[in-house]
Amino acid sequence: MPKTTALNVVLRKNMSASFTLVELLTVIAIIAILAALTLAAGTGVLKKAARSRASSEIQAMSTALEGYKNDNGIYPVGNTTAGSSSSLLGPPTGAYPGDPVVANVTAYQNSSAALFQALSGITNYATDIPLSSVKHYMSFKANQIGSPTVNSYIKDPWNNSYGYSTGDNQTPQGQYPFNGSGFFDLWSTAGTTTSATNTWISNWQ
């Protein structure tokens, strides 16, 4: 029988207190699962925050548009041909426009730029100084603006242009918003590339 010494006692205690390979792998697996759950929860929170911000911005712009109409008699319109492929300021040509990034990027940016100019009283966010003689209806932050130095436009939390459509004061009987309400349409596609409007954030839902 081996002699029990103080050293043997310490070694046995250390061996009994150490982790086996299976235990280490189990702990690592648990940590990985918790990290994945945390990441998924964090992504969900970010998506919800982005949608909430877009909804708030649409509400604020809608209020500003009403102020603009009270003063000017009409909602802001652009100087492009209604219904053309380069503008969303005229009537729909059939269905809602979809992706604001690829096929419709110019159309979205043109209408959003017209909206920015009308509400802010300036054309270029970073370089223009608002004139005291020009009324502005809404102030914007840098993270809301695309192309800050040339033809600035308003962008949503997904860095896409907001969609904006309204009637044309020249021929109101032939032009209307996409939703047919007779007022204006203001929307974000919420980062999607689909024309399925039930996934969008808008002033008509």
> Is 6 among the domain residues?
no
Check the CA dihedral 17-22-24-26 and report its sign.
negative
> Is 66 among the domain residues?
yes
115 burial type by CB count under 10 A (0-12 exposed, 13-18 middle, 19+ buried): buried
> Is 111 among the domain residues?
yes
Q: What pLDDT score does 168 carry?
A: 47
Q: Indicate the number of domains in the chain.
A: 1
Q: Taking a C-beta distance cutoff of 8 angstroms, is the pair 121, 148 a contact?
A: no
Task: Sheet containing 201-202: give its strands across.
Answer: 163-166, 184-188, 201-202
Q: What pLDDT score does 134 carry?
A: 87
CA distance 32 to 26: 10
Q: Taking a C-beta distance cutoff of 8 angstroms, is the pair 170, 91 a contact?
A: no
CA distance 92 to 104: 13
> Is 22 among the domain residues?
no
> Is 29 among the domain residues?
no
Q: Taking a C-beta distance cutoff of 8 angstroms, is the pair 97, 108 a contact?
A: yes
Tell me the residue range of the domain where 125 lies: 56-202
> Is 42 among the domain residues?
no
Give the pLDDT of the chain (205 residues) as one tens digit per residue: 555 565 555 555 555 556 688 888 888 888 888 888 777 766 678 889 999 999 999 999 999 999 998 998 878 875 444 344 334 444 444 445 666 777 678 778 888 888 999 999 999 999 998 888 889 999 999 999 999 999 899 999 999 999 887 754 443 334 455 665 567 888 898 988 766 677 889 888 7
> Is 96 among the domain residues?
yes
Residue located via tokens 């209806």? 137
Strands 184-188 and 163-166: antiparallel
Q: What pLDDT score does 81 carry?
A: 40
> Is 17 among the domain residues?
no
Q: Where on the phi/psi map is residue 53: left (φ > 0), alpha (ψ -120 to 50), or beta? A: alpha
